[in-house]
Every structure is written in structure tokens, then in C-alpha cells.
Structure 1
């Protein structure tokens, strides 16, 4: 009688080298801070030369920006989904602002060292921050254009409308400002944000901005 064939357990997929480097770098930043994290220390833990690190990331700055991009990309995709939704424009704008606020707040609370990279990039006007804000603003403009062409908004200047939203929501969606509110309970901040957004949307509905 033949013995039944035994299927081999599938081998775990090997983590791509570029992702492994990012994981190690992020862990070093969490444990040692950005200043004490070096390409040499990352290379040593990865078991490769520092020259090999530069094959994937041409500089420490590029490596740090990619660490920030890893958690910003899913957020940006979620904003795009909100923009694509069939909901009324007012509802989509409110959901988008709340999605930004909650994603930032979650990151501050659960992964402060990595959030600090993005906060510093914002303060410095670094490329990763400019790209992120460009995508955020693009989604907001898309919703504003949709609202202006349908019921709900009076004819408005899209640039002024976007500026009004960003100015009014600054406390709730700017990473540097949000760090100052860490002691404020989330529920309290969200109540305040809800009142602010409703006030802004009333102004948009009249076109008096």
C-alpha cells in the first residue's frame, strides 16, 4: 500500500529587501531617535554594506521620506475613496476632514516617533509633505467643484473655498498644531471640529466667503 503523499508546508514569502530596510530603519528611529539612527547602523542590522542601502535609498533623507510615505499612502487612498463616493458634497467634505484628523491622531498616539518625521517634514516644507498636502487639496477641490455644479453650494471661488476650509480646520488637521492638543480628549476635539465644519459649510452654502 502506497503511503499518502505529504504536502510540504508553504514557505513564508521573503520580505523584499527595500521593505526590510524600511522596517529596520523605522525600528531604529523608534528606539534611538532620528539623530542617532544612521545608515551604518541600519546596514549592520540588515547584514549588508552601507553601500547596498544606497542602492535602494540614495540618502538618509530619502529613506526617512519613504518611511512617512508608507503610512500616508493608505490615508491618501482613503481620501480618494471618499471623493469618489456618491454622497452629497457637504457630507464628503466632512468625512474627509474627519478622516485626516483621526488618521493623524491615531498615528500620534500609537507611533509618535514616526509621526514626528512627518511633522518635521511639514515644518520644513519637505517634498513628502508637499506631495501629501497636494493630494489632500486635490481631493477637496474635486469635491468643491462637484458641489458647485450641483445643489447645495451657491457659485463659489474654489480657491477661496479651499482656503476657508483649511484655515478653519487648521487646529484639527495640521500635524504641528495637533501635537499641541494631545492633552485634549479626542471626543472633545471632534465635537469642536464638528461645530467648525458645520459653520464653514453654512458659509459655503450661501456663497458668502
Structure 2
């Protein structure tokens, strides 16, 4: 919650909603506080009370946009289901979300690329959230024995994200062909990942 309390939180959310709508219509470069204030029928000084600068506004819009991705994947990560099932669903969900961003939200995606170049910590925070969710699923898989070959959950989470990059990196998704083709490729990679995570401990016991 922001220092101003729930009313301030609500107003900031409304400002970001308006900014996001204007960004989609006019692009990042034309996004400015005066137009947001005009659209909300308020003074630009009042907007600045909640978002201190144009740069902070741009960052907040993109940060929130990316947070929606991690919120959606976290719904999968937090399910009461065996870890191996959650892992597969989480990887599929992330790929579908990224495909949707590329095909249905191109203006926000283009804005995100520019804003992340200026504020790389946004992407670092996003990657940390996704990695943390994945590591938690893998740790659960060690506990419920559905993923006995995990070893180090944090290291394995990074490895899996690296192995599936082409299915969730926007640039690669944009050049990767149709969603159906990409999902078919992802299923093959998932099959390899799951085989390794389920069989590794058995292979070790044979030596």
C-alpha cells in the first residue's frame, strides 16, 4: 500500500489505467502527464502527486504490465496439485501469455522494450519473480517425489528458463512461427525436461 493509503492507491491505479489506454492508442513517445490529466478531468499537478515524473509513469505502467504475467503464472505455481503437473502447466502458461503479448498487445510490448532499455531493473525484477515461482515448484517436486532429479531448485529453474527461452522471449516468439508450431516445439522440450527430472535419480542409483 502506498503512503497515502487506499484512496491514493486507487487513484494511482486509475492514473496507470488511463496511461496504459493512451499508450495503446498513441504510443510511448506521445504519452505525457498533461494528456492523462485531461483524460481524467483533473490537473496535471494532481497526477504528479501520485506519479512523480514522466519516467516514473512509464516505468510504473510497464512494471504493472509485466506483473500481470507473473500474477497469472503464480496462479499455476500456487495450485494444490502435484509439482510435476504444475511444472508442465506453468511452462505452457508462460508460453501462451508471451504469444498473446506479441500478437495482441504489440504497442505495450514495443513500449516495454524501450522502457526496459532505460530501466533494466524492471526486467530483472520480472525474471526474478518467474524464477522464484519455478524454483518453488521444483522444490515441491523434490518433496512430493514427482521430480526426484531436481537437485538444486534455483539452479534448475535457471536452466529450464534458459532451455525454453525461445518460447517466452518476445523477440524469439515473434519470429518463431505460428502459435501451434511453437507450442508443438515447446511440448518436445517439456518432454525432455520432464524425462530428465523424473529419471535422473534412478540413473544415479544404477551406478
Asked if 1:161 is matched to 2:156, the reply is yes
Alpha-carbon deviation of 1:56? 0.9
Against the structure 1 CA distance between its residues 156 and 49, is the aligned structure 2 distance closer, same or farther, given a 3 Å change threshold? same
SS of 1:58's equivalent in the other structure is coil
2:129 to 130, 135, 143: 135
Alpha-carbon deviation of 1:187? 0.9
Match for residue 10 of structure 1? none
| 1:122/1:129 contact within 8 Å kept | yes
Query: Where in structure 2 are the equivalents of 1:1-209 lying within 5 Å?
Result: 16-122=10-116, 126-151=120-145, 152-154=147-149, 156-181=151-176, 184-205=177-198, 206=200
> Partners of 2:79 and 2:14 in 1: how far apart?
35
**Aligned length, in residue pairs:** 191
> Partners of 1:86 and 1:143 in 2: how far apart?
11
> Partners of 1:98 and 1:121 in 2: how far apart?
27
User: How large is the Cα RMSD of the aligned pairs?
Assistant: 2.4
> Partners of 1:87 and 1:139 in 2: how far apart?
14
Q: Unaligned stretches of 5+ in structure 1?
A: 1-15
Deviations 1:26-56 (A, max 9, x none): 2322222111222233223333333222111
Alpha-carbon deviation of 1:65? 2.8
Against the structure 1 CA distance between its residues 134 and 25, is the aligned structure 2 distance closer, same or farther, given a 3 Å change threshold? same
Deviations 1:38-82 (A, max 9, x none): 223322333333322211111223222332344444432332232
Of structures 1 and 2, the larger Rg is shown by 1
TM-score normalised according to structure 2 size: 0.79
TM-score normalised according to structure 1 size: 0.78
Q: Unaligned stretches of 5+ in structure 2?
A: 1-9
SS of 1:86's equivalent in the other structure is coil
> Partners of 1:85 and 1:23 in 2: how far apart?
29
